[in-house]
Each structure stands twice: as structure tokens, then as C-alpha cells.
């Protein structure tokens, strides 16, 4: 998370609000619902939107940039007649620009939570933490509470860490919408490179209707096996002396009796949470037509969606294939989901897109983002731990 002065610091705080104070040619309309992009032949010329019940248009002199995210950007394209022709016709939309990849290739990070009862109880400390944050915006209350984490390999054959851990020294449910009723701590853990891919579809041609989201989690054995490894590695970590002697009490979730593959699969299906990392639904690539999936691939991958896979929607310059004056800059253009959180990568993508747009319109190279940055390169090679687990767990 990006935090400043004890509060969550968004890209709106960091980029938009300062720009509004300095630029007279920038205006922001809130409480509006985009209904579609308007075109003159293949050129995007305006955005149609609803504001206070009135249908309005915002016209573009140069180009339009969609940043609705992995859900709303493909929805806007489809409402504008851009997408898989068969699907658009099925909801009564004139499919004038067939682009089969729109809304396909949806990827996300799914996270089960391993929860342990805490042996130590410090309710008075929690009161002090809350007061310090309320009065001074400092202390533990000014953090994201997810500041301890790490990456690991699910097994020795994996070439790079494929599992991410987020440790939380408290207990919450449903992303904090429900607080726990006991002293406990938990780890959110999930695979970084799932093979299962879902899709975004239109429920109807009505822009006010939410699209249909099929995340298609755990659709193949590869992803299910990695989920089981996530939970078993979490248990192994909390069984280490550093935790077990003084901190970790009874396992509350999934529960010590849940040991079989079937038990763990059922637990993840019932209680796994999205990490809010939806991406890749307007993927960047070189081939807007993709390729036809084989029947064998469909069976082993748990594929959903149309018959074409790897179909690109955007070019390397973020422009939509086959159209002029329309770009997309958000997580939807990722070819595949990154091995970690999306916040920083999306900020980087937006800064790079700004460079591309300015360079094109000014006719010269522009680099707003730093061209030379420090990169951490560990001197020691990454290596999978040898031998048996330090604490052997029954499976």
C-alpha cells in the first residue's frame, strides 16, 4: 500500500489533486456513468455518459483514454460495439468491430486465509494504538497492517517464487468488513501465476447493469495443487519454534482436521477471497485474432469463453487494435497477471503511457518517468530449501 501521513495515499491524492490546482485545462466530472464511446468510422471522437439523469457527450480533439479497470474497460468497449461479435449480438448490440479478446483472459489472485488463535492478549495495547493514530496519525495504526510478507516456491522444481504471503497481526473477515471477535492472527496466501482464466460478459445492453464476472478460479489441477501448497506452507511456518512456543495457539481456519486434498480444495472454494487484482481483459499483444484453442487444452485448463485464446485487444502503445484515437491504460492491458500486488505496476504503466502519448503528440521523445532507477539485485542466488521440512506436518 502507498501510505502518507498515516493515511492511504491514492494516485488521486498524488497525481490528480495537485494537477487540478495547477492546470486550468483539466476538469473532473464525478457521479457520471459512461455509456459508450462514439466513433466516426473507426476513429473515437466522443464519450457518451449519464449525469444527473441527462445524456451528455464529451468530445475529444485528439484521443480518448479508457481507465475503467479490468472490469469496466472491456464493458465499455462491448457497449460501444467492440468485442466478440457473437456475444454482442446475443445481447442486442450492433457488433461493428469484431475483437474476440475483449473481456477474455481475466486473471486474478485468489487468497485463502490461515487463521491462528493468539496466545498473548493485549487489548490495552490496541486502545493505545488507536488513540495514537486518531491524535497524531502515527504508530502501528498508521501502517497498512500487512507490512510483513514474503514469497516462496511451492516446490523445488518451480524456477521462481510462485506463492505470496501477507501476514496480518489481527483477525478480519471479508476484507475488514467484519472484524474478528477473538485475539488471533492470520496469513493471506495465494499463488501468483494461476493458469485458470475467466471472462467478463455483458448481462444486457443496459450500461447501468453490472457485467457478468466469471473469475473461473481453480479450474485446473495445477491451480488447485498450488492452493494446497499455500495452506500447507503456512502451517509449516506457524509450526516453527519462533511462532509455536509463545504466539501461535490453536489453528482456527481451515482447522487442524482439514488435511486431505479434498478438504483443502473445499475450504478454498468456500472461503477464498479475491486479492482485488483483476487484470488482463484487454490484453496487450501482437495478434488481435489469437488462435483457436484445442480440445485438449480446453479440458486440461478449464477454459471458459470463446474459442480463441491469446487474442490481443491493445497494441504495445496502448492503442486498441483496428481503431484510431482510443487507448486503454489500466490493469486490463496486462498480458498476464504480475507476480505480486498490482498497485505499483499500474502506476508504472500509467507513467510510461504518459511518456508514449506526449512523445507522439509533441513529435519528440518525452520521459516523465525516470529512465534510470535503482534496481535491487541480490548477490546471492535464489535457492529452494534443501531437505525435509523443519517441522514435518501430517498430510
How is 312-327 classified by DSSP, letter by letter? -SB-TTSBBTT-BSEE
Q: For 88, phi and psi rounded to 5 degrees? A: -65, -40
248 and 333 share one domain: no
Range of the structural domain that residue 51 is part of: 3-103+279-362
State how many domains the chain has: 2
62 with 123, same domain: the answer is no
Say if 391 falls within a structural domain: no
- Dihedral sign, Cα of residue 201, residue 204, residue 207, residue 211: negative
Give the pLDDT score at 394: 47
- Say what the pLDDT of residue 34 is: 98
386 inside domain: no
Same domain, 267 and 171: yes
Which of 251, 274, 297 is the C-terminal boundary of a domain?
274
CA distance 59 to 66: 14
Judgement on whether residues 119 and 216 belong to the same structural domain of the protein: yes
Residue 45: closest CA among 389, 361, 329, 323: 323
Total residue count of the chain as it appears in this document: 395
Tell whether 32 and 71 lie within a shared domain. yes
Alpha carbon distance 332, 337 (integer Å) = 9
Place of cell 525516470: 370
CB 47 within 8 A of CB 38: yes
Q: Is 393 among the domain residues?
A: no
Would the CA dihedral through 331, 334, 336, 340 be positive or negative?
negative
- Asked if residue 251 and residue 312 are part of one domain, the reply reads no
Q: Both 263 and 290 in a single domain?
A: no
Contacts of 357 (CB under 8 A, 6+ apart): 63, 65, 327
Give the max Cα distance, the chain.
70
pLDDT one-digit tens code per residue, 169-214 = 877 777 667 776 778 889 999 999 999 999 999 999 999 999 999 9
Q: In terms of domains, do 172 and 263 share one?
A: yes
Q: Which residues, in sequence order, are CB contacts of 68 under 8 Å at separation 6+?
A: 34, 75, 76, 330, 332
Contact 39, 45 (CB under 8 A): yes
Same domain, 140 and 235: yes
Catalytically annotated residues: 277
Q: In terms of domains, do 241 and 168 share one?
A: yes
Is residue 375 domain-resident? no
- Residue reference for cell 498490482: 342
Determine the straight-line distance between the first and last CA of the chain, rounded to whole angstroms: 35
**Contact yes or no for 109/280 (Cβ under 8 A):** no
| Residue 150 placed within a domain | yes
pLDDT in tens, the chain (395 residues): 788 888 888 999 999 999 999 999 999 999 999 999 999 999 999 999 999 999 999 999 999 999 999 999 999 999 999 999 999 999 999 999 999 999 999 999 999 999 999 887 767 777 888 888 888 888 877 777 777 888 998 887 787 889 999 998 877 777 667 776 778 889 999 999 999 999 999 999 999 999 999 999 999 999 999 999 999 999 999 998 888 887 888 999 999 999 999 999 999 999 999 999 999 999 999 999 999 988 888 888 888 888 788 999 999 999 999 999 999 999 999 999 999 999 999 999 999 999 999 999 888 887 776 667 777 666 555 555 565 554 454 44
- Judge contact between 309 and 303, C-beta under 8 A: yes
Per-residue pLDDT, 366: 78
Gap between the Cα atoms of 319 and 314, Å rounded? 5
Final residue of a structural domain among 274, 305, 333: 274
Which CATH number covers residue 221?
A: 3.30.560.10
Which residues, listed in sequence order, are joined to residue 83 by a DSSP beta bridge? 98
Q: How far apart are CA 265 and CA 268, in angstroms?
A: 5
Residues 115 and 81 in one domain: no
- Dig out the grid coordinates for 190 from the structure: 495465494
List, in order, residues 6 or more apart from 312 with CB less than 8 Å away: 101, 283, 284, 285, 286, 287, 288, 290, 321
Tell me: cis bond preceding 254? Omega within 30 of 0 counts.
Answer: yes
- Domain assignment present for 298: yes
Q: Which among 310, 25, 233, 350 is positioned nearest to 342, based on CA atoms? A: 350
- Give the pLDDT confidence of 44-100 residue by residue, as tens digits: 999 999 999 999 999 999 999 999 999 999 999 999 999 999 999 999 999 999 999
Report the C-alpha gap between 200 and 219 in whole angstroms.
16
**Nine-digit cell at 276?**
482485488
Question: What's the pLDDT at 169?
Answer: 83
Please state whether beta strands 113-118 and 184-191 pair in parallel, antiparallel, or not at all (unpaired).
antiparallel
Q: Please give the C-alpha separations between residue 331 and each of 69, 70, 240, in angstroms, as whole numbers.
A: 6, 6, 38
Q: Which residues are bridge partners to 292 per DSSP? A: 308
Q: What's 75's domain CATH number? A: 3.50.50.60
Q: Is residue 373 part of a domain?
A: no
User: Positive or negative, the Cα torsion across 295, 300, 304, 306?
Assistant: negative
Would residue 376 count as lying in a domain? no
Q: What is the pLDDT of residue 379?
A: 57
Cβ(369)–Cβ(358) below 8 Å: no
131 and 86 housed in the same domain: no
Amino acid at each position: 500500500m502507498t501510505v502518507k501521513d498515516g493515511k492511504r495515499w491514492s494516485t488521486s491524492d498524488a497525481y490528480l489533486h495537485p494537477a487540478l490546482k495547477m492546470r486550468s485545462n483539466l476538469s473532473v466530472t464525478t457521479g457520471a456513468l459512461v455509456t459508450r464511446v462514439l466513433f466516426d468510422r473507426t476513429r473515437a471522437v466522443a464519450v457518451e455518459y449519464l449525469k444527473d439523469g441527462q445524456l451528455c457527450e464529451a468530445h475529444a480533439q485528439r484521443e480518448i483514454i479508457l481507465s475503467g479497470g479490468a472490469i469496466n474497460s472491456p464493458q465499455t468497449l462491448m457497449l460501444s460495439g467492440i468485442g466478440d461479435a457473437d456475444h454482442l449480438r446475443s445481447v442486442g448490440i450492433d457488433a461493428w468491430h469484431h475483437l474476440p479478446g475483449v473481456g477474455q483472459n481475466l486473471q486474478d489472485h485468489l487468497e485463502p486465509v490461515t487463521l491462528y488463535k493468539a496466545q498473548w492478549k493485549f487489548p490495552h495495547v490496541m486502545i493505545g494504538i488507536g488513540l495514537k493514530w486518531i491524535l497524531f496519525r502515527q504508530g502501528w495504526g498508521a501502517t497498512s497492517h500487512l507490512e510483513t510478507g514474503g514469497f516462496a516456491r511451492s516446490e523445488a522444481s518451480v524456477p521462481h517464487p510462485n506463492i505470496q504471503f501477507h501476514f496480518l497481526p489481527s483477525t478480519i473477515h471479508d476484507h475488514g468488513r467484519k472484524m474478528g471477535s477473538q485475539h488471533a492472527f492470520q496469513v493471506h496466501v495465494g499463488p501468483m501465476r494461476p493458469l485458470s482464466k475467466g471472462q467478463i460478459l455483458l448481462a444486457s445492453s443496459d450500461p447501468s447493469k453490472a457485467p457478468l464476472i466469471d473469475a473461473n478460479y481453480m479450474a485446473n489441477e495445477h491451480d488447485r495443487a498450488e492452493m494446497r501448497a499455500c495452506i500447507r506452507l503456512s502451517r509449516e511456518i506457524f509450526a516453527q519454534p519462533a511462532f509455536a512456543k509463545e504466539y501461535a495457539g490453536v489453528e482456527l481456519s481451515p482447522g487442524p482436521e482439514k488435511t486431505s486434498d479434498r478438504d483443502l480444495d473445499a475450504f478454498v472454494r468456500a472461503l477464498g477471497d479475491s486479492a482485488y487484482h483483476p487484470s488482463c481483459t484487454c490484453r496487450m499483444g501482437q495478434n488481435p485474432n489469437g488462435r483457436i484453442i484445442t480440445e485438449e487444452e480446453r479440458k486440461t485448463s478449464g477454459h471458459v469463453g470463446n474459442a480463441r485464446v491469446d487474442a490481443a485487444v491493445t497494441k504495445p502503445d496502448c492503442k486498441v487494435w483496428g481503431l484510431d484515437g482510443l487507448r486503454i491504460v489500466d490493469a486490463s492491458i496486462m498480458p498476464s497477471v504480475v507476480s505480486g500486488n498490482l498497485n505499483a505496476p499500474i502506476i508504472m504503466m500509467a507513467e510510461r503511457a504518459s511518456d508514449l502519448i506526449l512523445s507522439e503528440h509533441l513529435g519528440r521523445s518525452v520521459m516523465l518517468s525516470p529512465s534510470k532507477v535503482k534496481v535491487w539485485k541480490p548477490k546471492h542466488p535464489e535457492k529452494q530449501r534443501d531437505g525435509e521440512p523443519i517441522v514435518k506436518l501430517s498430510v
